[in-house]
Amino acid sequence: MRRWIMHVDMDAFFASIEQLDHPEYKGHPVIVGGLSSRGVVATCSYEARKFGVHSAMPISRAKKLCPDGIYVYPRMDRYKEVSHQIFSIMKEFTPHIEPLSIDEAFLEVSGMSTMYSGPKALGRAIKDRVFEETGLIISAGLAPNKFLAKLASDLDKPDGLVVIPYGREKEILAPLPIKRIWGVGPRTEKILKTGGFHLMRHIQALPDESSLIPLVGNQARRIWELANGIDDRPVETDRKIQSIGAEETYEEDLTDGSAIELEFRYFANRLSKRLRKRNLLGHTVSIKVRYDDFTTVSRQKRLDTPSDHEHVFFETALLLWNKLMQDKTSKKPKGTKNDIELLGATTKVKSTNLKSTNSNYSSSNYGSSSEIAFMDPPGPIRLLGLTVSGLDEEVPMQDSLFESSKNETENKLAGVLDSLESKFGETAVMSGALWQRFHGDNGTRRKRSELKAAVDAQSTNEDVESNKMDKSLDLYKNGDVGDLNEDI
């Protein structure tokens, strides 16, 4: 039996739902995004794309390109509802579905095309069914493997239905640029180009991956195989959540350590709650920082013991932040991955590691970290993020007597707070520090944009949960990012 994989991706997803719910928007350029001066475009209808508007573009630019467009704020709950509806329709066809994002999935359809007159007919049937049920259009690609199926669904968007037949894989790939290979980011692309590899056919001309090894190391085999249309990865139905993250683009840049501290407190609080809800523990904590010139840096640290504790995430964020600030202000050469490991053998913050700054904010309730302040950044901060990855199901652990009784108390407290919050809402029960974040000195919650910028493609609001190719993590795994401290 031949293997057939289908990839589906909704057309202009958020914008199409807006057009569906507001028939008067049909046929018009619709732009969904943060509407503030700092907002970015989440997506736009194909009518708006004709004006050059695209995802992740600042709204201010979109308004210049398309002044008569219909600008709407995202309604995430509605989009999630429609997404569930579409996934249930697809489940009627096959249980073997790997969701990739809110509007995208792989379907394992091997053997199914015999029930239809071929893969194209099967694709047509699924497209028609989704349209009948929801009034929305998907683009679909069917191919012998995941890489080709994803490529195929994009080849004839919108309303695409493309089949890449067996035997034509190499021919279809040959004229495409190497950046279309999964995992080939700008850095690898540049390296491959210096070796004369611009198009897939240049790689196809090689008998094997050996000439690529000096350029891209252990990625060589995968790159050579994909360029030749070879991809054996299965559709992973139960793909686990790989990371949970929170991040925000700020309406007004953050300029001092105390404001940064509040944000990381908030993120740590959210992430720990969300992990507890799913009974997950995280191994690695990463922070992401974007300066006002859009330079973006990230730092990460692997915890000795996986955790769902707010204070662990917060203290690790503090550690990583201050280390980053020290690197930045002392203009030392960029650190290496080892620098991060050397930050400390445990997650406990040691005040000797870190330079203290004068912060007028001191209402910490996290023990050791109360001694240490978040250093002021060297320049305005546009975006902050905190992510916990390397997620495992929680397993009971045999801790020392002291540790376990302490953990038990913390866990109980967390459980009580979680249940109060689910009854009375997010702001009902919070530490003084978080209360300050929500209400601030002048009693108003800090304004913030809900959307992320371009480089965070696929994530759709401040809470980013990844059960798919978490881009950055995959790249770490594949070694494409190399030096984790690289400015990207």
Spatial distance between the Cα atoms of 159 and 9, rounded to a whole number of angstroms: 10
Catalytic residue among 18, 98, 104, 315: 104
**One residue of 4, 5, 7, 11 binding ligand DCP per CB under 6 A:** 11
Residue found under tokens 């080849």: 155
103 is in an annotated binding site: yes
18 binds Mg ion (CB under 5 A): no
DSSP codes joined into one string, 391-405: EEE-------HHHHH
Strands of 240-318, DSSP E:
243-254, 280-291, 296-307
Helices 257-277 and 310-329, axial angle in degrees (round to 10):
140
Between residue 49 and residue 88, which ones bind ligand DCP under the rule CB under 6 A? 55-56
Please tell me whether residue 300 binds ligand DCP under the rule CB under 6 A.
no
Q: What is the largest CA-CA distance in the chain?
A: 72
User: Could you identify the residue written with the tokens 């695209």?
Assistant: 54
Least distance between ligand DCP and beta carbon 75 (Å): 12
267 forms part of the interface with ligand DCP (CB under 6 A): no
Q: How far is the CB of 389 from ligand DCP (least distance, A)?
A: 20
Question: Which of 305, 281, 15 has its CA nearest to residue 137?
Answer: 15
115 contacts 94 by C-beta, under 8 angstroms:
no
Neighbours of 465 (CB within 10 A): 15
Asked if 153 interacts with ligand DCP (CB under 6 A), we say: no
Give the distance, in angstroms, between the CA of residue 448 and the centroid of all CA atoms in the same chain.
Answer: 19
| Minimum gap (Å) between residue 45 Cβ and ligand DCP | 9
Binds Mg ion (CB under 5 A): choice among 7, 8, 9, 14: 9
42 binds ligand DCP (CB under 6 A): yes
Smallest separation, CB 182 to ligand DCP (Å): 15
Instruction: Work out how close the CB of 163 gets to ligand DCP at its nearest, in angstroms, rounded to a whole number.
Output: 19
Q: Which does 259 bind (CB under 5 to 8 A by kind): ligand DCP, Mg ion, none?
A: none
Tokens 């023990």 correspond to what residue? Answer: 367
Measure the CA–CA gap between 7 and 152, rounded to whole angstroms.
8
Residue 392 is assigned to a ligand binding site: no
Amino acid in position 83? S
Residue 106 binds to ligand DCP (criterion: CB under 6 A): no
169 is catalytic: no
User: Considering beta carbons, is residue 9 or 18 the nearer one to Mg ion?
Assistant: 9
- 62 vs 220 by CB, closer to Mg ion: 62
Closest to ligand DCP by CB, 101 or 316: 101
HEC profile of 220-239: HHHHHHHHCCCCCCCCCCCC
Q: Contact at 8 Å (CB) between 183 and 161?
A: no
Q: Give me the active site residues, please.
A: 104
Chain residues that interact with Mg ion, rule: CB under 5 A: 9-10, 13, 103
Annotated binding site for Mg(2+): 9, 103
Chain residues that interact with ligand DCP, rule: CB under 6 A: 9-14, 42-43, 55-56, 102-104, 157-158, 454, 457-458, 460
Annotated binding site: 9, 103
